[in-house]
Copies of this chain bind each other. A is one copy, B any other.
Amino acid sequence: MKRTIKKNPAEAEPARQLALHVDTVIHQTPFWASHAGDQDDIILSTRIRLARNLAGIPFPTIARREELDTVVERIGNACKSIRMLQPALTVDIRQCKTLISKALVERRLISPVFAESSSAGIAVIDESEQLSIMVNEEDHLRLQSIQPGLSLQEAWRQISRLDDELSEQVEYAFSDKFGYLTACPTNTGTGMRASILIHLPALSILEQVDQAIKELAPSELAIRGFYGEGTDIIGNIYQVSNQLTLGRTEAAIISRLEVIAYKFLDLERNARDKLLHIHRVRLEDEVFRALGILQAARVLSSAELMKHLSMVRLGNELNLIQEIDHRILNELMIFTQPAHLQLLHENITDPESRDVLRARLVREKLAG
């Protein structure tokens, strides 16, 4: 696997004990979206998360208030001395403004459930948004690494190191028989979920996505929408992740997902070739129309943006469109989400005005 990542700010810089301001983080482009990654013409990002709990303290759902406070204090302190997290943003979820917590959900740094939590809980996020931790979500700890492109090994290397460093300071709930213990039994064992975000526009145009999923993804894998469980497929982007966490090693889970990822890559590449060679004119027509609409529209819903963005991304990857930076397309996906837009213009609250603002932002970004 050819690695194209040049720089990893979470590791490259010396530990700084600076506290980041959430507004800064919300307005920057995350590492996964601004950096090149292996196979990133089709795979947008790779994510691994680990579920962990502290020994001797009940799971968050049944813990008392003081116990939740204890967990926050212990993990909060431990994080301060973990170099790869620095500089870190620490968000107290009860103090956090709704709009900010929604934006963190849109960045896939915290879960929707956690965003609405009224119990003691914090999120710790490194500057580059490669590493993040939710404290007192469903489990005491949810560790996450997001990387650009197909980067299961790198994501695993980072999350595993974070996990090791934390485990030196706190004692995890672990059973020799079951592995890591978790609030929900479906996470018990490795506590790991690995997933990739994969963009399948050509298979979608040729109406072969369902067939591909049926063939490639047996029951151990889950296919979901952009924002995970229970969300719709938008912009031809699919999240493929493991279902099983028990009875397999982390390495086996990762390797299995990687094999599947390459099979999806093959199918999508073949479909792209087919479109290019057999339906080139129609493909160019769709690609340039999508770009034309994004550059022209004065009102743009999120769903319509994602639809056209998918075609523009495809056109870009196939060199039909040359002038657009890959990074711009990722940014358009991130900064046009509802909470992000509202953070730009806090007086805008109705969806109609948001659609107007979204259209303006898209025109500006695409104009360079």
Contacts and interface: CB of A to CB of B under 8 A. Distances in A.
Nearest to A296: B292
A285 interface: yes
A359 interface: yes
Interface in A237-296: 281-282, 284-285, 288-289, 291-293, 295-296
Contacts of A173: none
A192 to B, nearest CB: 45
Contacts of A296: 288-289, 291-293
Nearest to A299: B285
Contacts of A297: 285, 288-289, 292
Interface in A333-368: 356, 359
Interface residues of A, number: 16
B295 A282 contact: no
A298 B284 CA distance: 7
Contacts of A284: 298
A50 B281 CA distance: 47
A195 B3 CA distance: 70
A345 B291 CA distance: 28
Given A289-B293, A293-B296, 18 more contacts: A281-B298, A281-B299, A281-B356, A284-B298, A285-B298, A285-B299, A285-B359, A288-B296, A288-B297, A288-B298, A289-B296, A289-B297, A289-B298, A291-B296, A292-B292, A292-B293, A292-B295, A293-B293
22 contacts: A281-B298, A281-B299, A281-B356, A282-B299, A284-B298, A285-B298, A285-B299, A285-B359, A288-B296, A288-B297, A288-B298, A289-B293, A289-B296, A289-B298, A291-B296, A292-B292, A292-B293, A292-B295, A292-B296, A292-B297, A293-B293, A293-B296
